[in-house]
Copies of this chain bind each other. A is one copy, B any other.
């Protein structure tokens, strides 16, 4: 939410902070943004790399990676501050496949820096580095399914291990992860609609909460101008913040109508750059229109922020 002054040097990157629990879809969301912007002008980093302890040490010390004490929070703040001011950092590297900390890597900030992590929005100095901040919050049942699938296929865990880990982490998730929801400009809930008995292959829907901490495109106006039945704007209760606007995109939105909405959003940016391609890609290779629009809204803010520099 940090404001940029027009006289700041233009080499400062636009910073996006993405927080959410393990398996929530942070990497999937981020990957699409980097794909759309291109690696020549965007960089993403994952704050899992700032684990203070490796997997064996965490087990011995009974830490979960969700605990701030299990991460170099001060180095995260330091590195985010350096990246936000355009300086490179030597970022630590945590290897999820082996659970070990390994050789660090040199990261040069490009025009856009995407920062995703369990605790990206945990401390005020970190939050101050972001132009746009996002919390991802899928329905808990979806997150569990996704975490089980990923951890058993990519990270060498047994299904029972992941299940007991989910239980073990619950208190920490409540204490450290979920409070970050309140610190974000945008909350994205992508998943199956809760309380319904939809078939398993029903496409994921999204609710995108648009807090007035940053300037959003006027979705009421956009959806008036574009014929769509799969999207609507609603007012939702946002804790003590009162009513806040949310965009709901149903999973059955067609590519055609989502393209029209995407174009209408992008037109409001008044930039020469065409609307980005390659969005909405899920890990299973399918394209999901609600994810596509969520990513497009983030790109609207990222590309829009460059004009403020």
Contacts and interface: CB of A to CB of B under 8 A. Distances in A.
Interface of A: 52, 54, 72, 74-75, 78, 82, 87-90, 92, 100-104, 106
Contacts of A104: 90, 92, 101, 104
Nearest to A94: B103
The 6 closest A-B pairs by CB, nearest first: A101-B103, A75-B90, A92-B104, A104-B104, A90-B92, A72-B90
Contacts of A100: 103
Q: Copies of this chain, how many?
A: 2
Nearest to A79: B90
A121 B91 CA distance: 24
A103 B52 CA distance: 10
Contact of A87 (B54, B78, B102): B78
15 contacts: A54-B103, A72-B106, A74-B88, A75-B88, A75-B89, A75-B90, A75-B106, A78-B82, A90-B90, A90-B92, A90-B104, A92-B104, A101-B103, A103-B103, A104-B104
Given A90-B90, A101-B103, 9 more contacts: A72-B106, A74-B87, A75-B106, A78-B87, A78-B89, A90-B92, A90-B104, A102-B102, A102-B103
Contacts of A90: 72, 75, 90, 92, 104
A90 B52 CA distance: 10
A106 B52 CA distance: 9
A125 to B, nearest CB: 12
